[in-house]
Amino acid sequence: MAETLVNEIGADRYETVSTGSNPERYVHPKSIETLQRHGFYGGKSWDEFANLQFDVVITVCDAAAEICPTFLGKHEKLHWSIPYPARATGTESEINVTFDEAFNLSKQRIEKNYYD
């Protein structure tokens, strides 16, 4: 969700890629549903980006219980602890709330960094 948000909110300022240490190779259907519910539309392996230079690297890996990637070079590094909604359980309504919380937290942090 964060990749789509950055690409929409910061399209004139950032080009965004999203990756993970153990990517699922698909976008969770609830992520797409959540983005659409909030008016947006929207995994790759980090190895695909290992030789690229980045201005900013944002990691959210602790919530997914993944190893955080390390990218060499000079860049700003931000770490955001954002809940990992793909593992949410409960009723559909409770799962939607979990996805919405992750969406809203991501959006707030992106807007804060985009507009600062």
Per-residue pLDDT tens digits for 58-78: 877 666 666 776 777 788 888
Q: What pLDDT shows up at residue 57? A: 80
**pLDDT at residue 115, rounded to an integer:** 62
State the pLDDT at residue 41: 64
Return the bridge partners of 24, or none: none
The pLDDT of residue 62 is 66
Widest Cα–Cα separation across the chain = 44
Domain count, the chain: 1
Q: What is the pLDDT of residues 84-101, one digit of tens each?
A: 888 899 999 999 999 999
pLDDT, tens digit, 9 for 90 and up, residues 10-60: 777 777 766 666 656 667 788 878 888 887 765 455 566 667 778 888 877
CATH number, domain of 62, equals 3.40.50.2300
Q: Write out the two tokens for 66.
A: 């993944």
Range of the domain at 81: 2-115
Per DSSP, the residues of 37-78 read: HTT----EEGGGGTT---SEEEE-TTTTT-PPP---SS-EEE
Question: What was the pLDDT predicted at 82?
Answer: 84
Task: Determine the pLDDT at residue 23.
Answer: 59
Q: Are 113 and 6 in contact (CB under 8 A)?
A: no
